[in-house]
Amino acid sequence: MSKISFVIKRNGAKVKFNKDRIVNAIYRAAVELGERDRKIAEHLANQVVEKLGEINKKDRVPHIEEIQDIVEKILIKNGHAKLAKTYILYREENRQKRRKGSKQDSRPSENIPWAKCWEILDWAVTNNLHTIKALNKRIKKGELPNIIEESEAAYERDVHTAAELIADRSKELKMVIITGPSSSGKTTTTYKLETILKNKGFHFVSLNIDHYFFNLELHPKDEFGDYDFETPQALDLSLINEHLKNLVDGKKVMIPFYDFKTGMRTLNHTPKKLKKNEVLLLDSLHGLFPAMTKDIPHSKKFKLYLEPLLQMKGPYGRYVRWTDLRMIRRMLRDAAFRAYNPQQTLEHWHYVRNSELRNIIPYIKTTDYIINSGMPYEIALYRPKLLELFSVWTKKYRNDSLKRDAYTRASRVYEFLQAVEPVEDDSLVPGDSVLREFIGGSSLKY
């Protein structure tokens, strides 16, 4: 039997073989099915390694696709048909993404809110904020206070429109869900929306979905020790749905408590019940994911989606990506409030993005209204805070085949941050701005 020391990746790079990657791939598929026994994943991975040793000749380096083929066969051989199907579907999904990424596709994506994007682009052109070059010109002319005022006003109009739409359905609503991908500004928007609607006679009761996390040890973890807690399956979805259904029906439930210091959950911790005139308010990353609220009628819930849908061209005619804006926001927030350094956020972001593309973005068409939380001026604030770090990361990851995602993102952000006029002083940013959620100094009490 030959020992496997290296593996060939899809990009042709030769990297050290690590059995843990097989374990993690199998366990990740199992978690999607609601199964959380890592020992079974390890047992199956051992069989994969054994099979690889049997069929490989001395010094031959297997390709990643070959290893994945063997994983499928081992899963089926051991009677894990559902697990094999989930693994195969996930593998095919990734294959399709790679194909789309390698060729031009003129078909419009169903997962992009085109009407909202056009509205924002029209606003950006009207206010001469549609390119970094135009933004720089206005900043150099001393118009930063005007830019901030215009940008904040556009966001506030969106929030007030959402409040009006919710108020129009006051007689039937029992739940308002504020959702969107990581670092979209859900916390600030939830606060503002709640304040507006309280003045319209609404009585809200908040439910913290974070208390429904499974114990940390049950989440998938990669060979670098990084936990993947970004997926909806990191939450006890069936219990969330059950509790929400009971609350909407006027029944009392016992909310669990999750201790983030220990990574442990305590069940049946806090009693909660809705009064007749009260409405549930949920601020949740996965609020659109069907399993979370599947037993609550659509007429009783309002789904609000947030994202910084910035419409701004950077260098070489490339648009600033929304996901890059959110990654920067999360870097600043994690560093300031969660003792998580920016490099860790960058290296973890592929988990964030993969989960968004699979579990959030596909359901954007089910939302009732979309709020744009992107501020054209925010990138000018980020340059002095992070430009040097992105320069370091671009060099650090350039030749690291295991960190290609980190390199791609770092080099892309470094490119547009270099092009923007820096703004060192953020004192002009309003205390109640959605950006204060990330750069600090908020006047709001979350």
Chain segment 242-296, per-residue pLDDT in tens: 999 999 999 999 999 999 888 899 999 999 999 888 999 999 989 999 999 999 9
Q: Is residue 334 part of a domain?
A: yes
* pLDDT of amino acid 30: 82
- CB–CB of 441/414 below 8 Å? no
Q: Is residue 14 part of a domain?
A: yes
Q: What's the average model confidence in pLDDT over 158-179? A: 94
Q: Is residue 446 part of a domain?
A: no
Q: How many angstroms from the chain centroid is the CA of residue 393?
A: 21
Provide the edge-to-edge strand list for the sheet that holds 301-307: 203-206, 278-283, 175-179, 301-307, 369-372
Are 232 and 337 contained in the same domain? yes
Q: Is the pLDDT of residue 42 over 90?
A: no
Are 94 and 119 contained in the same domain? no
Are 231 and 206 contained in the same domain? yes
* pLDDT of amino acid 67: 85
Are 202 and 70 contained in the same domain? no
Q: Is residue 445 part of a domain?
A: no
Task: Give the residues across from 281 on adjacent strands.
Answer: 176, 206
In terms of average pLDDT, the best of 216-220, 330-334, 380-384 is 380-384
* pLDDT of amino acid 279: 92
Q: Is residue 172 part of a domain?
A: yes
Are 140 and 78 contained in the same domain? no
Q: Is the pLDDT of residue 12 over 90?
A: no
Per-residue pLDDT of 136-153, as tens digits, reads 999 999 999 999 999 999
The values of phi and psi at residue 353, to 5°, are -70, -40
C-alpha 66/C-alpha 55 separation (Å) is 11
The model's confidence at residue 1, banded by pLDDT at 50, 70 and 90, is low
* pLDDT of amino acid 244: 96
- Length of the chain, in residues: 446
Q: Which two tokens stand for residue 155?
A: 């966001």
| Strands 278-283, 301-307: pairing kind | unpaired
Q: Which residue has the higher pLDDT, 123 or 10?
A: 123
Per-residue pLDDT of 63-107, as tens digits, reads 888 888 888 888 888 888 888 888 887 787 777 766 665 555 556
Nearest residue to 361 (alpha-carbon basis) of 184, 164, 187, 234: 184
The model's confidence at residue 108, banded by pLDDT at 50, 70 and 90, is low
Per-residue pLDDT of 377-391, as tens digits, reads 999 999 999 999 999
Are 179 and 312 contained in the same domain? yes
Q: Is residue 267 part of a domain?
A: yes
* pLDDT of amino acid 99: 67
Q: Is residue 128 part of a domain?
A: yes
Name, in order, each residue with C-beta under 8 angstroms of 421's C-beta and a sequence gap of 6 or more.
Answer: 135, 136, 139, 140, 380, 383
Are 83 and 123 contained in the same domain? no
Domain edge (last residue) among 101, 128, 159:
101
For the chain, what is the domain count?
2
* pLDDT of amino acid 21: 83
Domain edge (last residue) among 41, 76, 101:
101
Q: Which two tokens stand for residue 133?
A: 């070059």
Are 37 and 63 contained in the same domain? yes
Are 243 and 164 contained in the same domain? yes
Residue keyed to tokens 């670098």: 224
Q: What's the average model confidence in pLDDT over 38-60? A: 81
* pTM of the predicted structure, to 2 decimals: 0.81
The model's confidence at residue 340, banded by pLDDT at 50, 70 and 90, is confident
Burial class (CB in 10 A: 0-12, 13-18, 19+), 330: buried
Domain edge (last residue) among 73, 101, 129:
101
C-alpha 386/C-alpha 368 separation (Å) is 35
| CATH number of the structural domain spanning residue 204 | 3.40.50.300
Helix axes 19-32, 64-77, angle to 10 degrees: 50
Per-residue pLDDT of 369-425, as tens digits, reads 999 999 999 999 999 999 999 999 999 999 888 899 999 999 999 999 999 999 999
Question: Which residues span the domain enclosing 85?
Answer: 6-101
C-alpha 240/C-alpha 383 separation (Å) is 40
C-alpha 93/C-alpha 159 separation (Å) is 35
Q: Is residue 376 part of a domain?
A: yes
Are 67 and 204 contained in the same domain? no
* pLDDT of amino acid 7: 82
Q: Which residue has the higher pLDDT, 55 or 224?
A: 55
Are 94 and 142 contained in the same domain? no
Are 32 and 156 contained in the same domain? no
The model's confidence at residue 54, banded by pLDDT at 50, 70 and 90, is confident
E strands in 263-422? 264-272, 278-283, 301-307, 369-372
Average pLDDT, the chain: 89
